[in-house]
Structure 1
Amino acid sequence: MTTTPPEPAAEAEAPLSDEQRAVRTRGYVGVLLLSAGVGIPVSLVAFGFLALLHAAEHGVWETLPESFGYDVAPWWWALPWLLVGGVLVGVAIRWLPGHGGHVPIDGLGLAPVPARFVPGILLAALAGLPLGAVLGPEAPLLALGSAFALIFVRPVAALDDPAAKALITVAGASAALSAIFGNPLIAAVFVLEAAGLAGPKLARVVLPSLLASGVGFLVFTGMGAWTGLEISSLSLPPVEGPERLDLADVLWAIPVAVVIAFAVRQVQHLGRWTKARAVARPLEYAVAAALVVGLCAAAYALLTGRSPEDVALSGQGLLEPLASDPAAWSVPVLIALIVLKSIGYGVSLGALRGGAIFPAVLLGAAAGVLVSGLPGFGALPAMAAGMAAATASVLPFPVASAVLVVLLLGPNATAMAPVVLVAVVVAFVSEQIIAPQRAQRAGRTV
């Protein structure tokens, strides 16, 4: 007589974690649906904001000089426009709710933005950025995405739960940022790393962010074709580069990243010095900072014979000519560009309003072109290393910095990825070493 062996007892299912239970709840599914819905109107607002910035910048720096008979803006062109911009930004900081948005030297802000802050943020951004502030549009865009996400959701859902409110805020910020970086993944990575998320909580927050970014990017890519309006995003043209790196490219990236990290720290020190004095007198320092930028732009134009626009503005429009023909930029011109734009960038970080990423990318690219004459250091690897080191030093979000620069490189991304990663790591570590040492020296002198 044969006996059937007893079947093995079914393995007990592992208990669900708090995050797993949260994702399966009806409330979380509702947040995902709201995130997808928010991506559409927030992207429309962001597209309008960027189209307006682009039109204003094009009019001030190209159309108007041509109407006065200038092939390029004359050396003094930046001064009156920046004076006007400084006054208007100072008014927004001094008298409007929200102080025109957060101070750029403080990094990216992800806190929910009340609707009453929107007028001040818009005034500071539209008055400062197209008129010459050495800052990018990503910070006000992030704030507008956060504010309008909550505005659009309010009639549909109360969002009494602070966690749900925070998720919608992140989703709105991601949707707004997706086009300015030219890729929805970059926006999601920046927002998530800025929020300091890790572990199981990352999965819960990343889904609304990715969903809103993807939907928002679809709207962005369609709006230009439907409306005929243009926006400016951070991008590089297709650039011919080596199929693979040489050892010298990787080795040179190490000291270059250290030097760039140290230089960026000096620019940030100027920004913090300016911010400390602008707190008590925001209008006066906004005007003063704008005039410093104007003087730097004028000095650059007089020294080089080029447009003062190179030193003013965020620098995103200068990436294409710099990357397309690096040999056309002489060493004296590159040195003048880096030094004078860095000064304008530093005072803008402390007294004006905007984002810190775009000028850092441009300055890193210019520094890369400058050092590309080193033995065995190619122009494209040098630019990649410079952009990666500068971005990681300014934010510093190492993962987002690496993703941003790699995707900027387009067809050359795979070949250039090693030098980008080396530069990001070296710059990030150098920044972490420099900062505590400077703080200790400052403490001893007090």
Structure 2
Amino acid sequence: MAEPASDATARGLRDTLRSRGYLRLLLVSALVGVPVSLAAFGFVSLEHELQHWVWESLPEALGMDRAPWWWPLPALLLAGLLLAPIVTRMPGRGGHLPVNGLGGPPTLPRELPSVLLAAFACLPLGTVLGPEAPLMAMGGALALMTVRAAKRAAEPKLGVVLGAAGSTAAISTIFGSPLVAAVMMIEAAGLAGPQLVVLLLPCLLASGVGALVFIGFGHWTGLSIGALSLPSEPPVGLPDAGDFLWGVPVAAGIAAVCVVVQGIAHRTAAFTARRTAVRTVLCAVAVGASITAYALVTGRSPEEAALSGQATLGALAADPQSWPVGALIALIVFKSLAWGVALGSMRGGPIFPAILIGAAFGVMCAGLPGFGSSAGLATGLAAAGAAQTRLPLTSAVLAAVLLGDSATNLVPLLIVAAVTAFVTAELLRGRRRPAMAATTAAAAQQQH
């Protein structure tokens, strides 16, 4: 009599977990979390210090109260000039274009220098991108360094699992929680059953150990660890019917903005596929011009629209009432333009700017009857993440982690917003898929 499929599957999983090779893999994954987290700490701390020097210390040294309106133009020009030779001449070309998301083949160790140089050329100088993609590339490459190239070639699955473990350990540090990284891995992998368990356990071990070391090292040194977080938990009450009624169209609107931005990014990627060096510099200047336009229109600091948006998100969440609607509209428009160009030409992560734009959109709509600022902020965080990453569960969990203990009351709204944004974005992308496929194919030439 044949053994039931479920019993055979369970027995196969137990055999895998008991095998010496898999136990060694778990041990290596746990150990990998330590150097990856230390490298991530060094990367984030240095990037944060450079960013502070460019946008705060240097203007003060020149006798200015803050970065003037024209500051983004020379800063982004320098970023483009530094990035151009990296993406055209170095192995790995600085990493993959952020318009293609966080996925792609693992970064090989020989490609890591170009990824790090591109990140330090772009992020501190004001490119509207986040640090998550370079961190994941660094974590994967460092994990692969623990296994010789010959062994990776002989056992391809070993390289995949270790690369995933290193990337998960790195991303858990910047998201401030190994839970977010684990959920992202589950949702992005698209696996089920024993395959998921075999991949997930090394990733969980690496991310848990990495997050522990990362946070502990930050407290020990007193340096900023740079994790995505809000400076204080916004006051949150129970959402009512009005929050849900407004939350659905607001989430759909945020998804539409993200899809428009991605359309700009795909066209930019096609534009930079030829004459890459010159056009990369032109795109960097265009990013600087968008940030400058924000400063001129609003009279506010250009730093609010530059960079990944982490600091501006904290300021917005801490005191949403201090932001006029006109400033929020300008932030959404000009940061979205800069973000779209940067996604298709620069190097960095695509998630952080999306979260800020979504939060600004949600807070902007908080004046609608029956829709509060806390509900608008929560809707924006979850909707933007889902529309950009195409991972609705990860986005809802990330929004809940950002909102802290008070997020318990908002979990139903977070889920509704994430699902609405995901569905809306997919329907809109379906109408534009032929054009996007053509621009993606052209952009792929830039990576080879």
Q: What is the deviation of 1:315?
A: 0.2
Q: Check 1:416–1:237 CA distance in 2 against 1; reply closer, same or farther (3 A cut).
A: farther
Cα distance in 2 for partners of 1:323, 1:63 equals 25
| TM-score, with structure 1 as normaliser | 0.93
> In the alignment, is the contact (CA less than 8 A) between 2:139 and 2:166 conserved in 1?
yes
Cα distance in 2 for partners of 1:239, 1:375 equals 24
> Superposition pairs for residues 130-169 of structure 1, below 5 Å?
130-154=124-148, 160-169=154-163
Q: What is the deviation of 1:245?
A: 0.8
The alignment status of 1:212 with 2:206, answered yes or no, reads yes
Cα distance in 1 for partners of 2:164, 2:338 equals 31
Cα distance in 1 for partners of 2:234, 2:327 equals 23
Q: Match for 1:394: what amino acid?
A: Q
Aligned residue-pair number: 432
The alignment status of 1:189 with 2:195, answered yes or no, reads no
Q: Could you say which residue in structure 2 is the equivalent of 1:7?
A: none
> In the alignment, is the contact (CA less than 8 A) between 1:135 and 1:345 conserved in 2?
yes
Q: Check 1:155–1:200 CA distance in 2 against 1; reply closer, same or farther (3 A cut).
A: closer
> In the alignment, is the contact (CA less than 8 A) between 1:108 and 1:194 conserved in 2?
no
Normalized per residue, the structure richer in helix is: 2
Cα distance in 2 for partners of 1:441, 1:306 equals 37
Deviations 1:323-350 (A, max 9, x none): 1111110011111111000000000000
SS in 1 for 2:164: helix
> Superposition pairs for residues 24-423 of structure 1, below 5 Å?
24-154=18-148, 160-423=154-417
Cα distance in 2 for partners of 1:64, 1:259 equals 38
> In the alignment, is the contact (CA less than 8 A) between 2:152 and 2:159 conserved in 1?
no
Cα distance in 2 for partners of 1:229, 1:159 equals 40
What CA RMSD, in Å, does the superposition of the two structures yield over aligned residues?
1.9
Q: What is the deviation of 1:203?
A: 1.0
Q: Could you say which residue in structure 1 is the equivalent of 2:443?
A: none
Cα distance in 1 for partners of 2:341, 2:149 equals 41
Q: Match for 2:397: what amino acid?
A: V
Q: Match for 1:149: what amino acid?
A: A
Q: Match for 1:181: what amino acid?
A: F
> In the alignment, is the contact (CA less than 8 A) between 1:42 and 1:145 conserved in 2?
yes
Q: What is the deviation of 1:318?
A: 0.6
Q: Check 1:440–1:273 CA distance in 2 against 1; reply closer, same or farther (3 A cut).
A: closer
Moved more, 153-162 or 361-370: 153-162
Cα distance in 1 for partners of 2:333, 2:28 equals 46
Q: What is the deviation of 1:111?
A: 2.4
Q: Check 1:15–1:191 CA distance in 2 against 1; reply closer, same or farther (3 A cut).
A: closer
Q: Match for 1:308: what amino acid?
A: P
Q: Could you say which residue in structure 1 is the equivalent of 2:3?
A: none
Q: Check 1:302–1:388 CA distance in 2 against 1; reply closer, same or farther (3 A cut).
A: same
SS in 2 for 1:35: helix
Q: What is the deviation of 1:112?
A: 2.4
Q: What is the deviation of 1:105?
A: 0.5
> In the alignment, is the contact (CA less than 8 A) between 2:106 and 2:163 conserved in 1?
yes
Cα distance in 1 for partners of 2:12, 2:278 equals 51
Rg bigger for which structure?
1
> In the alignment, is the contact (CA less than 8 A) between 2:236 and 2:407 conserved in 1?
no
SS in 2 for 1:351: coil
> In the alignment, is the contact (CA less than 8 A) between 2:95 and 2:114 conserved in 1?
yes
Moved more, 364-373 or 284-293: 284-293
> Superposition pairs for residues 13-24 of structure 1, below 5 Å?
16-24=10-18
Q: Match for 2:296: what amino acid?
A: L
Cα distance in 1 for partners of 2:258, 2:436 equals 18
SS in 2 for 1:372: helix
Q: What is the deviation of 1:154?
A: 3.8
Q: What is the deviation of 1:289?
A: 1.6
Q: What is the deviation of 1:48?
A: 0.6
Q: State percent identity of aligned pairs.
A: 51
Cα distance in 2 for partners of 1:49, 1:242 equals 34
SS in 2 for 1:262: helix
SS in 2 for 1:236: coil
Cα distance in 1 for partners of 2:9, 2:88 equals 54
Structure 1, unaligned runs of 5 or more: 1-12
> In the alignment, is the contact (CA less than 8 A) between 2:248 and 2:416 conserved in 1?
yes
Q: What is the deviation of 1:29?
A: 0.6
Q: Could you say which residue in structure 1 is the equivalent of 2:433?
A: 439
Cα distance in 1 for partners of 2:27, 2:141 equals 18
> In the alignment, is the contact (CA less than 8 A) between 2:266 and 2:436 conserved in 1?
no
Q: What is the deviation of 1:237?
A: 2.6
> In the alignment, is the contact (CA less than 8 A) between 1:173 and 1:191 conserved in 2?
no
